[in-house]
Amino acid sequence: MTCEDVETHLSPVALLSWAPAHSVSFGCVDGRSTEGGVGTWGGDMGEFISALNVYEQMASLQLSQADVTHMLRKYLSASTRQRFTTCMSSTALKQLVGRQIPNTGSVADMEAAIKSPLEDHVAAIWLKITDPNYIGNDHVRFMLERPEDYSVRKQLVEQVIHSFFDILWNQFDPLREKLRVQVLDGERTENAVASVTVPDFCLKQAGLVPLIPARGQTASVAIFNPDAVQVLRKELALFFSRMVTPVVRADEMAKRLAVLTSGQATLSKKAMFDHIPVYSARISQ
């Protein structure tokens, strides 16, 4: 895929949809989604795991399952973002809840099935959702399989996953409506990876980010939004500097989080997209 092909995929800019940077949810860097969105490695869940990991190091503590659930609930309550997203491949999802999905099930059917599994299946599924063989989020799976390389505590990754699904599967929990499992259907067919940024006016003055579909009619481009995700990371650093005990310094956490996520992104990009070209694209005014 050439630079011109990527430009065509992102055009026409005038027809792109835009959303407030402080309310948009982050899906995964993956070329299978046909809906407009913004992407980061592992979606909102991947970012939250990395933030918690940095927080543990700065606060010199090791969070329990109860601590992680408490912090996730507090973050969801405080966040201005409409959703907190993780992604899951349709293959992994069908392995978990296949009996609930019609033979001709749509992506919406699959999302509904993982959001509300049959009650008598929940306990069995809960045991599987941290098994790398059933993880449909590649970036998070790599964290579980290679925790030393990703500089994360494996148990912390498992705790975040369990906290997420404990909230999602509680029909009476009001926070469950903020959680989303984005289903990525089909096989990978990415033609390129594009790191897409916008002019300062769009993000800093207007506070808007473009919602770009990864999969179009003629091509599939895995899209990462580095300037938009910086907004999210600053919010996470502020959260851990104000809303938890003990607090940590926001500026120091933001720096450490930037270093950690940059290294993690390099590893995931190589593992997932080493065979396709990577481009940087800047949307012009």
The structure's pTM equals: 0.95
List the structure tokens of 59.
């606060």
Q: What per-residue confidence (pLDDT) applies to 285?
A: 61
In sequence order, the 6+-apart residues with CB closer than 8 A to the CB of 42 are: 28, 49, 86, 87, 137, 138, 139, 140, 143, 268
Query: How many Cβ atoms from other residues are within 10 Å of residue 85's Cβ?
Result: 24
Q: What per-residue confidence (pLDDT) applies to 12?
A: 80
106: domain range?
A: 3-282
Flag residues of the chain having pLDDT under 70.
104, 285
Calpha distance 107→91 (Å, rounded): 12
Query: pLDDT digit string (tens) for 27-57?
Result: 999 999 989 999 999 999 999 999 999 999 9
Q: What per-residue confidence (pLDDT) applies to 114?
A: 93
Structural domain total, the chain: 1
Q: What per-residue confidence (pLDDT) applies to 103?
A: 72
Answer for the pair 203, 282: CB distance below 8 angstroms, yes or no. Answer: no
Q: What per-residue confidence (pLDDT) applies to 108?
A: 87
Answer for the pair 202, 155: CB distance below 8 angstroms, yes or no. Answer: no
| Residue 245, SS3 per DSSP | coil
Write the burial class of residue 31 (CB in 10 Å: 0-12 exposed, 13-18 middle, 19+ buried).
buried
Q: What per-residue confidence (pLDDT) applies to 3?
A: 87
In sequence order, the 6+-apart residues with CB closer than 8 A to the CB of 201 are: 285
